Amino acid sequence: MGDALILSRGLTRRYSIGKTVVAALSEVELTVQRGEFTALVGPSGSGKSTLLNLIGGLDRPSAGEVSVDGLSLGKASEEQLVRYRRERVGFIFQSFNLLPTLSAVENVECPMMLAEIPRPERRQRANSLLESVGLAQRTLHKPNELSGGEKQRVAIARALANRPLLLLADEPTGNLDSKSGAAVLDLLCGLLKANGLTLIMVTHDPEVAARADRIIHLRDGAIQGIETRKNAEVSA
């Protein structure tokens, strides 16, 4: 294995609900290469989102370890995790999660503000990111003035703001109609290639999963199978 970005060993996450302990994820062994597009599929409750959150540093493993770009997320300090989320990961959510009071461009600027990038620079970069997702004309609109597809594009631009290594998308097309869903997916695939990004995407949709280099099937918190695809787009 040459250039692995993500490595997990015996990755386990248990939740206690009342007195019972539920394992959302147990003993997951996973390797993700740089530049790879991985789809996580499986029925609800299979642990897809838990795995994504662990890789994103939003949650911590109960046992085992997951490391991204050499950083062991389970052992990392709170401060390291904050920096990791800020600088190396971009999240894309099903429900967009834009800040409702900020305009599109301000939403994209937000991660850069946290990274203390000077104002003129971040405004410029936010505008060019919005341009690259095809929203050059909508930069000053508030989220409630944008369509679902547009909102998700703003969210993608925001995820790219601090030039992350890794994009984590939790059903990014789940709230979109098929047409704008497909457009968002095309955009995402284009950006991946252009920026050499690694993408892990949780999805229900087999058509969406079909675009990935690898499909990982999860069931009851464990990997059931891995489907590697010889994707024409990747090799081209």
Partner 1 sequence: MTIRDQVRTALSNVGRRKLRSALASLGVVVGTLTIVIMVSLASGVRQQINRQFESLGLDRLTVTPSGSGGRRGPGFNPFDISPRKKIITMQDVKRWKEMPGIVKVVPEINLPGSVGLDLRWNGTNQSVRMSGGEPMGGNPFQEPPQPAAGSLDLPESGGIILSQGAAQSVGVPAKDVAKLIGQNVEALLHTSRGETQSFTLRVQGVSKDRSKTIQASVANRLAMKNWWFNSTNVLEREGYDSVTIRAVDVSRASGLMQQLKDDGFQVQSLEIIMDVANRIVTAVTVMFTMIGSIALLVATIGIANTMVMAIYERTREIGILKAMGASRREIRQMFMMEAGFIGLIGGVVGLLLGWLLGLGLNQAIQIYMKYRELPVHGHFFVVTLALALGAILFATFIGLVAGLLPAQRAARLDPLEALRHE
Q: Name the site residues for partner 1 (rule: CB under 8 A).
A: 53, 56, 58-59, 78-79, 82-87, 91, 93, 97-101, 110-111, 113-116, 158, 162
**What's the min distance (Å) between Cβ of 61 and partner 1?**
14
Q: Please tell me what DSSP assigns to residue 209.
A: H
Q: Closest separation between CB of residue 87 and partner 1, Å? A: 7
Which CB, 33 or 97, lies closer to partner 1? 97
* 3 vs 78 by CB, closer to partner 1: 78
Q: How far apart are CB 232 and partner 1 at their closest, in Å?
A: 34
- The contacts of residue 200 (CB under 8 Å, 6+ apart) are 6, 32, 38, 39, 40, 52, 55, 166, 167, 168, 169
User: Smallest distance, Å, CB 95 to partner 1?
Assistant: 9
Helices 119-132 and 104-114 pack at an angle, to 10 degrees, of 130
Residue 188, H or E segment: helix 178-195
Shorter beta-carbon distance to partner 1: residue 82 or 136: 82
The letter for the amino acid at 177 is D
Q: Kindly state the smallest distance separating residue 149's Cβ from partner 1, in Å.
A: 20
- Give me 218's structure tokens: 């999860």
Residue among 109 and 213 whose Cβ is closer to partner 1: 109
Three-state secondary structure along 123-168? HHHHHHHHHHCCCCCCCCCCHHHCCHHHHHHHHHHHHCCCCCCEEE
The SS3 call for residue 213 is coil
Q: Which C-beta is closer to partner 1: that of 99 or that of 210?
A: 99
Using CA atoms, how far apart are residues 235 and 13, in angstroms rounded to an integer? 35
